[in-house]
Amino acid sequence: MANIVIVGTQWGDEGKGKIVDLLSEHADVVVRFQGGNNAGHTMVVKGEQFISHLVPSGILQGKTCLIGNGVVVDPQVLVEEIAYLREKGVDTGPDKLKICEKAHVIMPYHKELDHSREASKGKNKIGTTGRGIGPCYEDKASRKGIRFTEFIDPEMFKDKLENEIEEKNFLFENLYSKSKIDTKTIFESYSALAEMLKPYVTNVSVFVSNASKEGKQILFEGAQGTHLDIEHGTYPFVTSSSTVSGNACCGSGVGPKQISEVFGIVKAYTTRVGAGPFPTELFDEDGDTLQRVGAEFGATTGRKRRCGWLDLVILENAVRLNSLTGLVITKLDVLKGFKTIKICTAYDCDGEILKHFPSNLNKLAKCKPIYEEVPGWDEDISTIRSYDELPDNTKKYLKKIEDILETPVSIISVGPGRDETIVVSNPYAT
- 223 contacts Mg ion (rule: CB under 5 A): no
- Of 41, 53, 104, 227, catalytic: 41
- Residues engaged in binding ligand GDP (CB under 6 A): 8, 12-18, 40-42, 44, 299, 330-331, 333-334, 413-416
Show the site string, 282-311: x = touches ligand IMO by CB under 6 A, - = not.
-----------------x------------
Q: How far is the CB of 274 from ligand IMO (least distance, A)?
A: 2
Q: What is the CA radius of gyration of the chain?
A: 22
- 131 contacts ligand IMO (rule: CB under 6 A): yes
Which CB, 145 or 415, lies closer to ligand GDP?
415
Of these, 73, 194, 273, 381, which contacts ligand IMO (CB under 6 A)? 273
Report the partner that residue 415 touches, choosing among ligand IMO, ligand GDP, Mg ion, none (CB closer than 5 to 8 A by kind). Answer: ligand GDP
- 274 contacts Mg ion (rule: CB under 5 A): no
* CA separation for the pair 367, 353 (Å, rounded): 9
Of these, 5, 12, 290, 420, which contacts ligand IMO (CB under 6 A)? 12
Question: By the 8 A CB rule, do 336 and 419 touch?
Answer: no
The three-state DSSP-derived secondary structure of 87-139 is HCCCCCCCCCEEEECCCEECCHHHHHHHHHHHHHHHHHCCCCCCCCHHHHHHH
- 358 contacts Mg ion (rule: CB under 5 A): no
Q: How far is the CB of 315 from ligand GDP (least distance, A)?
A: 15
Active site residue 229: no
Ranges within 332-391 binding ligand IMO (CB under 6 A): none
* CA separation for the pair 29, 36 (Å, rounded): 19
Which CB, 21 or 150, lies closer to ligand IMO?
21
- 40 contacts Mg ion (rule: CB under 5 A): yes
- 133 contacts ligand IMO (rule: CB under 6 A): yes
Active site residue 232: no
Report the partner that residue 226 touches, choosing among Mg ion, ligand GDP, ligand IMO, none (CB closer than 5 to 8 A by kind). Answer: none
Task: Candidates 158-166, 193-201, 230-238, 292-300: pick the segment binding Mg ion (CB under 5 A).
Answer: 292-300
- 13 contacts Mg ion (rule: CB under 5 A): yes
Interface with Mg ion (CB under 5 A) = 13, 40, 299
Positions that interact with ligand IMO (CB under 6 A): 8, 11-13, 38-41, 126-129, 131, 133-134, 223-225, 228, 239-240, 273-274, 299
Q: Catalytic residue numbers?
A: 13, 41
